[in-house]
């Protein structure tokens, strides 16, 4: 661990947004799932949520470029539990879904606690999911196609959220609780050592100002 890399980890964690997330519903293609994770990392999303009722979780591929190491993924057995969990955390959930009440995605205030629900590649979000959320959003299409690839849609919406949050100064303060911050710093800095400590059910040691392990 070099001081420069440790400082980079600090800069990234300082900007992680706890109340901005994504739910994927049966997004089963590894290429798309990996691209969504990569975008989440790029805009500072701390964790995403995945529901896969039709198959197992997609396997990360090269598109992620290692981003899966920096974005936690919480899995859910069904869409009801995923949406309920986020509602209990105080987030509003908006589905990318074409309906009569759907709003232009730019009309949403993403500075508020927000989750974006994205559906399967061909069929989109299920009607059950559409009925559970707080609202529907669309990306206006001016050409012949009616929708974007799911990973592209995720990027378009998330970077609008980033734009709004940057303007509101939400990336200028740390959102993580101190204990979670220290935990993530250790796991990012020393993943193999962290795995060993977890296996032994021992607490992580402290890190010094330059990222060195302090054994007391």
Distance, CA of 180 to CA of 165 (rounded, Å): 22
- Residue 178 backbone zone (phi > 0: left; psi -120 to 50: alpha; other: beta): alpha
Task: List pLDDT tens digits, range 158-205.
Answer: 999 999 999 999 999 999 999 999 999 999 999 999 999 999 999 999
**Distance from the first to the final alpha carbon of the chain:** 19
63: pLDDT confidence band, cut at 50, 70 and 90?
A: very low
pLDDT band for position 124 (cuts 50, 70, 90): confident
The pLDDT of residue 64 is: 43
Residue with tokens 């740390």: 174
108 belongs to an annotated ligand binding site:
no
**SS3 of 92, please?**
strand
* Contact status, residue 152 vs residue 159, Cβ threshold 8 Å: no
Question: pLDDT tens digits for 74-120?
Answer: 999 899 999 999 999 999 999 999 899 999 999 999 999 999 999 98
Which class is domain 19-167?
A: alpha beta
* pLDDT for res 30: 87
Q: What is the pLDDT of residues 1-14, one digit of tens each?
A: 788 999 999 999 99
Domain positions in the chain:
1-16+176-216, 19-167
Residue range 200-212: mean pLDDT, rounded: 91
Query: Do the annotations mark residue 215 as ligand-binding?
Result: no
Residue 91 CA to residue 120 CA, distance in Å, equals 22
Give the residue, 113 or 143, on which the prediction is more confident.
113
């Amino acid at each position: 661990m070099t001081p420069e890399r440790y400082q980079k980890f600090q800069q990234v964690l300082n900007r992680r947004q706890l109340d901005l997330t994504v739910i994927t519903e049966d997004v089963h293609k590894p290429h798309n799932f990996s691209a969504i994770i990569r975008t989440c990392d790029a805009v500072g999303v701390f964790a995403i949520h995945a529901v896969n009722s039709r198959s197992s979780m997609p396997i990360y591929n090269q598109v992620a470029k290692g981003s899966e190491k920096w974005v936690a993924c919480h899995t859910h057995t069904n869409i009801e539990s995923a949406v309920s969990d986020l509602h209990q955390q105080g987030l509003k959930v908006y589905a990318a879904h074409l309906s009569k009440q759907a709003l232009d995605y730019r009309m949403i205030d993403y500075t508020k606690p927000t989750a974006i629900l994205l559906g399967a590649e061909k069929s989109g979000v299920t009607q059950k999911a559409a009925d559970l959320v707080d609202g529907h959003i669309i990306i206006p299409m001016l050409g012949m196609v009616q929708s974007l690839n799911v990973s592209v849609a995720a990027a378009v919406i998330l970077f609008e959220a980033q734009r709004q949050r940057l303007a509101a100064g939400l990336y200028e303060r740390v959102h993580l609780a101190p204990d979670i911050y220290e935990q993530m710093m250790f796991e990012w800095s020393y993943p193999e050592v962290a795995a060993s400590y977890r296996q032994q059910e021992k607490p992580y040691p402290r890190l010094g100002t330059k990222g060195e392990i302090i054994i007391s």
